[in-house]
Amino acid sequence: MRWKETDIITVDTHADSLGAVLSGQRHLTETSTKGQLDFPRMRQVGHRVQFFSCWVEPEYKPDRALTRTLAYIDAFWEEVRHAADLVMPVNDRASLDAALASGKIAALLSIEGADAVTGPGHIVRLLYRLGVRLMSLTWNQRNLLADGAGEDPGGGGLSQAGRQVVHQMNEIGMIVDVSHLAEAGFWDVLAVSQKPVIASHSNCRALKDHRRNLSDAQIRALAEKGGIQGITFVRDFLGGTADLDRVVDHIVHALDVVGDDRHTGIGSDFDGVEEPVPGLEDVTGWPRLAERLADRQLSDDTIRRVLGENYINFLYDIWA
């Protein structure tokens, strides 16, 4: 993204845009007035690095979760293939460097809710070989690995299978995502994981008491583990005015809690909500977010880190 006469590498760790592809609503290769994100609009604003999520709809769980996950993965690869002039798939440091050097969009594949996974073994390895580099263990409900945030208050932690999957993800280099976990599962992941983890799209519970948001203790612990909290644009998680200024409130709060600007990023949840945040109606709103952060007296360096550099450095470390 071009800002203050320089280029900023922006990174977003969560968008549900592949769902629109699978439902036949649109292709990401085409500029659309529908939805919030596509490749041409990303190119228009200079948004450089995007994680595309595979979210299995409830009607496919549990028996058809793997089949549906594979359909999402296929949709990702087909969209990328048909936009080779704009987009490069990324799955390691070399491909990330190549995408950034080329000026193309770096597209990464993630899974939201590991309902396709029943335990450690060949499925996790195959998902990795198909390009998946980030995975949350649950969506909102309980599965065989853990309880989701929808089970709180009182949700449980990781099952034995869930603990083993975290270990396997660590071993093969797949990033563990703690968004959507019940709080007990969050703490279990931090105790079990040998590597830093992220919360791809979770806000601050101190500003909005929602079970999908993180407490200040969780935010600090995530940072102490070397992880990153991706502030999301979901209005239900924002509270207050639920607008662009409220997104900034959550970013500033996370920065204040940690006392360090290396552990906060962005996880928009574009195309995952029906009613977008005013001022961030689609991906072209990135420059407005940068300007509003500057209005809050955040330094240019901090703004660059929050909008992308933190996640770039995280990926470099994971893929070292």
CA torsion through residues 202, 185, 224, 257, sign: positive
320 or 157, which is more confident? 157
Per-residue pLDDT at 73:
98
pLDDT digits (tens, 9 = 90+) for 62-75: 999 999 999 999 99
State the residue for tokens 């029943």.
118
pTM over 0.85? The answer is: yes
Q: For the residues 5-24, what does the mean pLDDT come to?
A: 96
Banded model confidence at residue 175, pLDDT cuts 50, 70, 90: very high
Cα(187)–Cα(166) distance, integer angstroms: 13
Ranges of each domain in the chain: 2-318
Nearest to 1 by CA among 316, 251, 314, 300: 300
Per-residue pLDDT at 3:
86
Q: How far is CA 66 from CA 54, 59, 75, 193, 232, in A?
A: 11, 13, 14, 24, 27
Per-residue pLDDT at 4:
87
In this structure, what is the dihedral angle of CA atoms 319, 230, 121, 128, given to the nearest 10 degrees?
A: -50
CATH topology of domain 2-318: TIM Barrel (3.20.20)
Query: Is pLDDT of 320 > 90?
Result: no
Banded model confidence at residue 126, pLDDT cuts 50, 70, 90: very high
Query: Is pLDDT of 57 > 90?
Result: yes
Q: What is the DSSP string of the chain?
A: -EETTEE---EEEEE-THHHHHTTS--TTS--SSSS--HHHHHHHT--EEEEEEE--GGGTTTTHHHHHHHHHHHHHHHHHTTTTTEEE--SHHHHHHHHHHTPEEEEEEEES-TT--SSSHHHHHHHHTTEEEEES-SSS--SS--BGGG-SS-----HHHHHHHHHHHHHTPEEE-TTB-HHHHHHHHHH-SS--EETT--BTTTS--TTSBPHHHHHHHHHTT-EEEE---GGGT-TT-SHHHHHHHHHHHHHHHTSTTSEEE---BTS-SSPPTT-SSGGGHHHHHHHHHHTT--HHHHHIIIIIHHHHHHHHHT-
Query: Is pLDDT of 298 > 90?
Result: yes
Q: Are 226 and 162 within 8 A, CB to CB?
A: no
pLDDT digits (tens, 9 = 90+) for 246-279: 999 999 999 999 999 999 999 999 999 989 999 9
Q: Are 46 and 285 within 8 A, CB to CB?
A: no
Cα(28)–Cα(79) distance, integer angstroms: 6
Share of the chain above pLDDT 90, in %: 98
Q: For the residues 195-223, what does the mean pLDDT come to?
A: 98
**What is the token pair recorded at 258?**
């940690």
